[in-house]
Amino acid sequence: MSGERVLVTGGSGFVGVHCIQALLNAGYRVRTTVRSLDRDHEVRAMLAKAGAAMNDAPGEALEFRVADLLSDAGWADAADGCTYVLHVASPFPGRDPKDEDDLIRPAREGALRVLKAARDAGVKRVVLTSSFAAIGYGTKELTRPYTEDDWTDATANVSAYVKSKTLAERAAWDFMDREGGSMELSVVNPTAILGPVYGTDLSTSIELVRRLLNGATPGLPKVTFAFVDVRDVADLHVRAMTNPAAAGERFLATSDGVLTVPQLAQILRDQLGEAARKVSTFVLPNWMVRTAALFDPSLREIARRLGNHREVSNAKAKSLLGWEPHSNAELLKATAESLADLGLAPGNA
């Protein structure tokens, strides 16, 4: 393990930073891609806040390369000399773009660029960050928990993000079948990701919690989410990277049990006390959400989810890789406390 170099794409992102932290703490050398070297200080600051082990020679433990998902430039250099690759980078906007290709192209083409560069560099295994979005949408809702055997129907009426993740993962598996050679692929499919935040560029899921804590969400829609702690997502990436049993496999990353937004709000109030004083208790009727979505595009994905209740199984990651996720209560508390520490939400002080 010591001395092996791992490429992590999208190192300035929420999941990317936690993956880098997990790898550094495990003794790996890390190379990460960013779209501009101006962000290297930001990444190092987040890692320092997270307590990442930088050893005695931080320049050797972590290095940066510039690469963009929509350009071939830089990827061969980024992958050169790496034993493993964690392909984390992928666009995740707060709302659907006007043109769905603004999401689909970087997701699919970026995955193929990384896989080709990794194969040509002699990388042993790539771990691709996909999503539950590639598993649980566009088909009739199941009466059993969703598993890694399920796939989203990208031809159905699904959001641009859901389509992008599905098409990107499909393209990755197709590439491996046709052109992967001896390289191996594993895929991690997280549900909505929460957990400790070290920077102010917030993901959509984190923004949901921040708005609840700040009282910016006065009504609670009765939609259901499955959540997972970002620390557990990073841990699962590292396990999938090295475990022989993970080659050619998908792994759902989710905590135990799903939550409605009103249940999420109740957990925040129970866990945080005075720090959750602004969290609403008003549950919105479904008709009100659907009506508001006609005028507010940001609510359309919420309206789509009304009435859906998708249970998700994490049994495979647990049994095959020995993975154990944090509970929903633990990950929500960690999210809220980190937001308070950054001055982005109320605290108990």
The pLDDT score that the predictor gives to residue 91 is: 76
Tell the residue number behind the tokens 């972590």, with chain if given: 62
Per-residue pLDDT reduced to its tens digit, 28-72: 999 999 988 988 999 999 999 998 887 545 567 999 999 999 999
Q: Nearest 5 degrees, angle CA 296-CA 141-CA 307?
A: 40
pLDDT digits (tens, 9 = 90+) for 73-106: 999 999 999 999 999 998 776 667 788 999 999 9
Q: What is the pLDDT of residues 275-326, one digit of tens each?
A: 999 999 999 999 998 998 898 876 777 887 887 788 999 999 999 999 999 9
Mean pLDDT of 210-216: 95
pLDDT at 300: 77
pLDDT reported for residue 203: 87
pLDDT category, 338, cuts 50, 70, 90?
very high
**Mean pLDDT value of segment 224-232:** 97
Dig out the tokens for 315 from the structure: 């049994």
Active site members:
165
- List the beta bridge partners of residue 42: none
In three-state form (DSSP H/G/I as H, E/B as E, the rest C), the secondary structure along the chain is CCCCEEEEECCCCHHHHHHHHHHHHCCCEEEEEECCHHHHHHHHHHHHHHCCCCCCCHHHHEEEEECCCCCCCCHHHHHCCCCEEEECCCCCCCCCCCCCHHHHHHHHHHHHHHHHHHHHCCCCEEEEECCHHHCCCCCCCCCCCECCCCCCCCCCCCCHHHHHHHHHHHHHHHHHHHHCCCCEEEEEEECEEECCCCCCCCCHHHHHHHHHHCCCCCCECCCEEEEEEHHHHHHHHHHHHHCHHHCCCEEEECCCCEEEHHHHHHHHHHHHHHHHCCCCCCECCHHHHHHHHCCCHHHHHHHHHCCCCCCECCHHHHHHHCCCCCCHHHHHHHHHHHHHHCCCCCCCC
Please check whether residue 80 is in contact with residue 121, taking contact to mean a CB–CB distance below 8 angstroms.
yes
**pLDDT recorded at residue 59:** 61
Provide the whole-model pTM: 0.94
* 216 has a pLDDT exceeding 70: yes
pLDDT at position 2 is 58
- For the chain, domains (ranges, CATH) are 5-193+228-254+311-321 (3.40.50.720), 194-227+255-310+322-349 (3.40.50.720)
What pLDDT shows up at residue 95? 64
Q: What is the mean pLDDT of the chain?
A: 93
Say if residue 224's pLDDT is above 90. Answer: yes
- Interval 224-239 mean pLDDT: 97
Question: For residue 57, what pLDDT is reported?
Answer: 52
pLDDT tens digits, one per residue of 104-127: 999 999 999 999 999 999 999 999
pLDDT at position 55 is 59
- Whether the CB-CB separation of 271 and 335 falls below 8 Å is answered with no
